[in-house]
């Protein structure tokens, strides 16, 4: 069994400042891990994925995440937030074909 | 590549009627398709998994007679909400995966269903 915990339900940042979204997972073995973004009334867009290769994963729109097995974490970061980053973010773990979703983190960006 | 579409994007129907939602993989053959439901400000809840040509596997608590899933081809899956009621109003999202990469799913843009 696997589960995903997103430690923050809501993150608010000023435009141009760093963003950190925290995610911890539990799994019997190393899962594949993903971060998705969802804008209002839209589907999910893949930001980045970890599949047992490099532990530091770079994604689209300046996002990156680091897989830390010792901490069972896969935190998402971006050095400088943009207004368009305001959205819902989901951390997801995959074991074979079934996905486990975190509860989501709402990001708001202040001008 | 790996684009998934859904139709319609929004639908309003009257209570007691049925509504069909289509999910298509546009540029790849999807061996497996998934249907999710998302309530406001909540995460996605897996409803069922379907493989082309076989019956869908429903998650616990999902009524298979109410949510009919058909996966007739490698590029099309449909979800029919039968005898819809207001409590079925939700955002329905489908996804698809390749046989070569079952761990990764490509998501459609979602369908907003409102039952009046």
Q: What are phi and psi of A62, to 5 degrees?
A: 80, 5
Tens-place pLDDT, residues B15-50: 999 999 999 999 888 889 999 999 888 889 999 999
Which residues on chain A are in Cβ contact (under 8 Å) with B103?
A: 32, 51, 94-97
* CB burial of residue A37 (10 Å; 0-12, 13-18, 19+): buried
Can you tell me which residue has the tokens 């867009």? A45
The alpha-carbon gap from B82 to the nearest alpha carbon of chain A, in Å, equals 23
**Structure confidence by residue, pLDDT tens digits, B84-103:** 999 999 999 999 988 777 77
CA distances from A17 to A78, A82, A86, A109 (A): 9, 9, 13, 9
| Per-residue model confidence as pLDDT tens for chain A (111 residues) | 678 999 999 999 999 999 999 999 987 777 889 999 999 888 899 999 998 778 899 999 999 999 999 999 999 999 999 999 999 999 999 877 788 899 999 999 999
Q: Is B75 on the interface with A (CB under 8 A)?
A: no
What distance, in Å, lies between the first and last C-alpha atoms of chain B?
37
Q: CA B53, CA B73: separation in Å to the nearest integer?
A: 7
């Amino acid at each position: 069994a696997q589960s995903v915990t997103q430690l923050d339900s809501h993150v608010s940042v000023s435009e141009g400042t760093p963003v950190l979204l925290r995610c911890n997972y539990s799994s019997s073995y190393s899962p594949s891990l993903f971060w998705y973004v969802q804008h209002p009334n839209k589907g999910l867009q893949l930001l980045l994925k970890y599949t047992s290769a490099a532990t530091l994963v770079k994604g689209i729109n300046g996002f990156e995440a680091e897989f830390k097995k010792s901490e069972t974490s896969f935190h998402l970061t971006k050095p400088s937030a943009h207004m368009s980053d305001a959205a819902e973010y989901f951390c997801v773990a995959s074991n074979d074909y079934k996905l486990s979703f975190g509860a989501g983190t709402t990001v708001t960006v202040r001008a | 590549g790996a684009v998934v579409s859904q139709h319609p994007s929004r639908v309003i129907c009257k209570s007691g009627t049925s509504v069909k939602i289509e999910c298509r993989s546009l540029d790849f053959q999807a061996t497996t398709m998934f249907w999710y439901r998302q309530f406001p400000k909540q995460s996605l809840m897996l409803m069922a998994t379907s493989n082309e040509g076989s019956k869908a596997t429903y998650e616990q608590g999902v009524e298979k007679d109410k949510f009919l899933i058909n996966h007739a081809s490698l590029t099309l899956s449909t979800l029919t909400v039968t005898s819809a009621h207001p409590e079925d109003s939700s955002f329905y999202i489908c996804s698809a995966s390749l046989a070569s990469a079952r761990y990764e799913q490509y998501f459609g843009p979602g369908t907003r269903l409102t039952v009046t």
